[in-house]
Amino acid sequence: MHNDIKKALEVLHSGGIILYPTDTIWGIGCDATNEGAVQKIYQLKEREESKSMLVLMENMNFLSRYVEVVPEIALDLIEITEKPMTIIYPGAKNLAKNLIAQDGSIGIRITSEEFTRQLTQRFKKPIVSTSANISGEPSPTFFDEIIPEIKVAVDYVVEYRQDDISPKEPSSIIKLGTAGEIEILRK
């Protein structure tokens, strides 16, 4: 894992994209503050920029760097959740403009999975996480389900957990409003 983190960090720092395991499914990622890198992912996935992507962080203490206001309920939800949870926050900031949704929001998941936690911790910035597929195609659950076009188009393919076939669930998705509204988009 150490060698994978080292190589992934080199790619992230140079504006490249990686294929890596997350706390849910395999993802395509890049520096969430680099518009050029984010654009590469949109092109690879053949995805419209109006469909925003989420980012991973290792610690909720960094939320205020990337979100105007962190509602108290968000911190409570993060602390009590037992499964991966993506929270969509209003008022995104300090991220690539083409990553932020048209309404100014951003989806953020605090990861507890070992590889992504260490990677985001050492990178010291959020990392884009989007499913490792062409937009509209089924999301691959395991590494061997990822199509070859994706594997050859990224700048680095992480070796860690390629043989892992333990079942993974998608994250729950909760959208928070500026006035404290809570909308559950996926349980």
Q: For residue range 154-181, what is the model confidence (pLDDT) as tens digits?
A: 999 999 999 999 888 889 999 998 777 8
Residue 8 near residue 156 (C-beta atoms within 8 A): yes
- The pLDDT tens digits of the residues spanning 85-143 come to 999 999 999 999 999 999 999 999 999 899 999 999 999 999 999 999 999 999 998 99
Rg over CA atoms, the chain: 15
2-186 adopts what CATH topology? Answer: DHBP synthase (3.90.870)
Whole-number pLDDT of residue 180: 74
Residue 4, pLDDT score? 97
What are the residue boundaries of the structural domains of the chain, listed by start? 2-186
Would you tell me the crossing angle of helices 2-13 and 114-123 to the nearest 10 degrees?
Answer: 40
Q: Give pLDDT tens digits for 16-30.
A: 999 999 999 999 999
46 dihedral zone (left: phi>0; alpha: psi -120 to 50; beta): left
What are φ and ψ of residue 61, in 5° steps? -65, -15
